[in-house]
Chain A
Amino acid sequence: MKAVIMGCSRVGARLAEMLSEDGCQVTVLDIEANSFKRLSQNFNGTALLGNGLDEATLVRAGIETADAFVAVTQGDNRNIMASQIARHIFKVPRVVCRIYDPLRRDLYSELGLITISSTTVVANMVKNKLFV
């Protein structure tokens, strides 16, 4: 499987390593070169400096032949826009988008994106731990 991850955040870097360990061909994108320091030395995918909202950069990252696209930058709107580019322009079969804002998460999952609101997910997990 070939995956493009936009945003070498903590989640992005960790996910890149996990997929890469599973034998995926991974390209992780970020606009900050410093973010790539989060990747461990064992990561054997590609780290690419560039803006995931820019189609030329996405093409360089191999999005045209990717099986999956994941948007996990810190900006909800950036993630949403990039995911829609991946889905509607490049027809990537599987697109997952992190959206902090629960309302936006609900709206865009209605509009056909696979979305994860870490806010809701984590809040629920914490709540479950509180009332064990």
Chain B
Amino acid sequence: MYIIIVGGGRLGFKLAQSLLDKSHEVLVIDKRQELVDRIIAEMGSVAIVGDGCEGKILESAGARRADIFISLTSEDEDNLVSCQIAKHYFKIPRTIARVMDERNEMLFKALGIDIIINSTNIILEYIMHEMPSPPVMHLIQERDRGFEVVDITIPPSASVIGKGISELALPESAVIALIIRRGATPVLPREGVQFEEGDQVIAATSPENEPFLRAVFTGQ
């Protein structure tokens, strides 16, 4: 496939390299001579200096026979316009735009850009995925002795809200030790105490039953 990339920064450089490795035909367009030189030194003559929104540049890049057009500059308006020119003037079937300001995502979609990439969101999601999944925190882990102590925060609309401890189907090994309530002193989970949204429940459980316990307090 023939793929045109606008923007030869770090992302454009890496993308061109990966696509070439997969035997695609690639051309990178960037206004900055030094970036174009760097790509040519590394990958051969697969980059030209120019404005990816200029009809003449795109024409000379052979945009009419391109299969995919990708715009990766750091300016949303440039990515939008170059993709629109690629799509409507050069009839490139697939256009991909990077968006820096997530508020522009809807506009890009409404204006017919095929794929919109919000790199900030992708990185954010990735990092959040690597975080210990809230609302459960491990306070103590005594794997040799077969138990751990966890801190579970009750999320809004959890089914446990409004219930007392005796109404819960708890796993056998679980011990509910303490309820820490926002703006109040901690309470013991006695009869007559009902769980509230935002309560932190401190509990001991066997590691195997931890997912079960988590489900009891965070399930909807």
Q: B-contacting residues of A (Cβ < 8 Å)?
A: 53-55, 75-78, 80-81, 84-85, 88-89, 101, 103-104, 107, 110-111
Question: Taking CB as reference atom, which chain B residue is nearest A82?
Answer: B77
A88 to B104, CA, bound (A): 13
Shortest Cβ distance from residue B6 to the other chain A in the assembled complex, whole angstroms: 12
Tell me whether A77 and B103 are in contact (CB under 8 A): no
Question: Do the beta carbons of B88 and A77 come within 8 Å of each other?
Answer: no
Top 9 nearest A-B pairs (CB, nearest first) are A103-B55, A77-B77, A81-B77, A77-B81, A107-B89, A78-B77, A77-B78, A80-B81, A81-B80
Q: Does B68 contact A (CB under 8 A)?
A: no
In the complex where A88-B110, A110-B88 touch, is A53 in contact with B77 (Cβ < 8 A)? yes
- Considering the complex, give the chain A residue whose CB is closest to the CB of B59: A103
Smallest beta-carbon distance A82→chain B, Å: 8
Q: Is B110 a contact of A76 with CB atoms below 8 Å?
A: no
Which chain A residues border B34 with CB–CB below 8 Å? none
Interface centre among B78, B80, B81 (most CB of A within 10 A): B81
Give B116 Cβ to nearest chain A Cβ, in Å. Answer: 14
Give residues of chain B (92-110) contacting chain A, Cβ–Cβ below 8 Å.
103-104, 107, 110
Chain A residues in 8 Å Cβ range of B85: 103-104, 107
B76 on the A face (CB < 8 A): yes
Q: Does B28 contact A (CB under 8 A)?
A: no
